[in-house]
Amino acid sequence: MPAKVSFYVRDIPVHGDVILAPMDGYSDLPFRVLCREYGSAMSYTEFVAVEAIIHGAKKAMRMFDYAPMEKPQMTFQVFGPGEDDIVLAARKLEALQPGIIDLNMGCSVPNVSGRGAGAGLLRDPQKIGRIFRRLSQDLRVPVTGKIRLGWDSQTRNYLDVARTLEDNGASLVAVHGRTKEMKYNGQADWDAIAEIKQAVKIPVIGNGDIKTACDIDRMKAHTGCDGVMIARAAIGNPWIFQRRDRDQVSVRETVQLSLRHLQLMVDYYGDYGLVLFRKHAVKYIHGLPGAAELRQQLVTCESPQRFVELLLQFEQRLEQRLEIGDLQPTVQHQSLISNLQ
């Protein structure tokens, strides 16, 4: 039974209040599907350059693949500096039937923000207004934006930007409580997110410094935000969408989900899925006894079958240390090994 409706993105109901953030290199189809199954209420793609969309770059367009279960909250995120290019790319993407199109105005990476895209747009609220006016008039789907608090501590113009978004047709704003200058350093300013929530009527999603399940409810209570967006804390930890912390997750659950994630990656990407999964794998095992030694083996492993064997051996060693006894591969594990051969 789906969770109750927490808020609407225009006319699209969002069931639940915890959402996987769009993360470059992480928020691909396999990881989004896992997080949706564990309770993430929306799906955001990784951000994709509008220039690549306009030219139909194969690698870029594949990033908009999605599973039926991600609809209707499937959100395509784009970035770029040019008004015309942003609108043209969004029109092209609408044919792929996303639920929502989102403009990234938060990326702090110099080769993005430095050319006026991502957080670089925050320096020109009037330009943001023009972009969203055109998007909201030209597109049938809702348009939303993800922002930071400003370019730096001297230009924290988040209220101006949030009001501009609302006034020009945006259906939601997600707010990372840091400036571009801060990157991921310092403490996220939840008070600023609360100010935005008080200033606009569209839904507000809060983002920044969510590390534990308790932090989700603390942010909601502190800011009044409609939803909470989780980025780095979700990597290797989809259980956070169930409001469970890692110390509540057994070794067996950890290994089983790791293996399922690996299977999804290999199914989607082919053999290269193993390479892409390594960065997830080290996060799944982080903090467990013996993880450092296993990490070295996993990041150099080139065989999916061997990868599975290493994880199962790791699980068995830990279970033995916990005096639970020897653990033989389950039917699910046997199937995974066979499928990955």
Can you give the residue ranges of every domain in the chain?
5-246, 250-340
Give the tens place of pLDDT for each residue, 24-73: 999 999 999 999 999 999 999 999 999 999 999 999 999 999 999 999 99
Reading the block at residue 121, the tokens are 């747009």
Taking residues 257-275, what's their average pLDDT?
96
Give percent of the chain with pLDDT exceeding 90. 89
Q: Which amino acid is at 266?
A: V
Torsions phi, psi for 112 (to 5 deg): -105, -60
| Positions marked catalytic | 107
pLDDT in the model for residue 322: 67
Instruction: Decide: 266 and 304 in contact? Cβ < 8 Å.
Output: yes
Higher pLDDT, 127 or 341: 127
Q: How many residues does the chain have?
A: 341
Architecture of the domain spanning 5-246: Alpha-Beta Barrel (3.20)
Residue 233 has pLDDT above 90, yes or no: yes
* Largest CA-CA distance found in the chain, in angstroms, rounded: 65
Q: What angle do CA 260, 264, 265 make, to 5 degrees?
A: 115
